[in-house]
Amino acid sequence: MSRIWTTIQRELMSYLFSPVGYVIAVLLYLFRGIEVSSIVKGMSFLGGDVDQFASMYVLQRSSLIMIVLVPPILTMRCFAEERRSGSIEVLLTAPVRYWEVVVGKWAAAFLFFCILLLPTLAILWLLAGDSYLSAGVPFSPVFAGYVGLALVGALVLSVGVFTSSLTDNVLLASLSAMLFSWGLISGPALALPHVGPWTLEYPFVETLLIQTNVVDHLSSWFARGLIDSGKCAFYVVGTIVFLFLTTISLEARRWK
């Protein structure tokens, strides 16, 4: 356990001292600020159901950027950079187990992801003031929505850690993880309307698409304040599977 914590500390320091995180933060908060101001303007001038506010607040374009683009950028260096520079040899010849390194690196990326994500809640706190929305905005669904975003983020980060362990090219590592996360987010949502009579023969196709429909999980469940254990399990298990695959990939590298 102490080795995982040591790895988390070192990786987190590396995120905090790298300019990449700050560039992401600035762009993200700027983008989100503009989006939120347009929602608020829309609601105040045109009127709108404040109950819808939570799902609108959670499901912004910036949220999609946060779960499609940001995790692969955070994790691309995890192993690819270590392999490129050769420092992986120093790391893996220390008395650590591979899974401890993998979990440590992922956990640090996840913590940094949360550090980037959480300040966007501050806007919500500002909005609670009388001068903005003079209506009782339900905040709890927003928090549930953030739990959803964090879970999707955890999964995509674990995919990013995995792709980073496969190559020593950071660009390739990040692009392949982005491809996966983009596929995960848009794939089921795009495919579901095309589910027709042919799927009656293969009912698992529809089940699979429903189970993996991230956008629906976020909009119909988390952003409505519904934290469903089945939906959570999908992300938790998915994360564990990819972390396991990363460990296997590190083990397999030794055999080459």
Work out whether 1 is an interface residue with another protein (CB under 8 A).
no
Q: Which two tokens stand for residue 175?
A: 């692009």
Considering beta carbons, is residue 93 or 229 the nearer one to another protein?
93
Could you please report the per-residue DSSP string of 181-204? HHHHHHHHHHHGGG--GGGGT-HH
Stretch 214-253 residues interacting with another protein (CB under 8 A): none
The phi-psi region of residue 86 (left if phi > 0; otherwise alpha if psi is between -120 and 50; otherwise beta) is left
Q: How far is the CB of 93 from another protein (least distance, A)?
A: 4
Work out whether 10 is an interface residue with another protein (CB under 8 A).
yes
Q: How far is the CB of 13 from another protein (least distance, A)?
A: 8
Q: How far apart are CA 132 and CA 53, in angstroms?
A: 13
Considering beta carbons, is residue 14 or 220 the nearer one to another protein?
14
Which residue type does 44 have?
A: S
Q: How far apart are CA 113 and CA 157, in angstroms?
A: 9
Considering beta carbons, is residue 94 or 190 the nearer one to another protein?
94
Q: Do 88 and 164 touch, CB atoms closer than 8 A?
A: no
Q: How far apart are CA 239 and CA 36, in angstroms?
A: 30
Burial of 194 (0-12, 13-18, 19+ CB in 10 A): exposed
Stretch 47-86 residues interacting with another protein (CB under 8 A): 85-86
The 87-126 site mask, x for binding another protein (CB under 8 A), equals xxxx-xxxxxx-----------------------------
Work out whether 9 is an interface residue with another protein (CB under 8 A).
yes
Work out whether 2 is an interface residue with another protein (CB under 8 A).
yes
According to CB under 8 A, which one of 194, 204, 229, 256 is a site residue for another protein? 256
Q: Tell me which residues touch another protein (CB under 8 A).
A: 2-3, 6-7, 9-10, 13-14, 17-18, 85-90, 92-97, 254-256
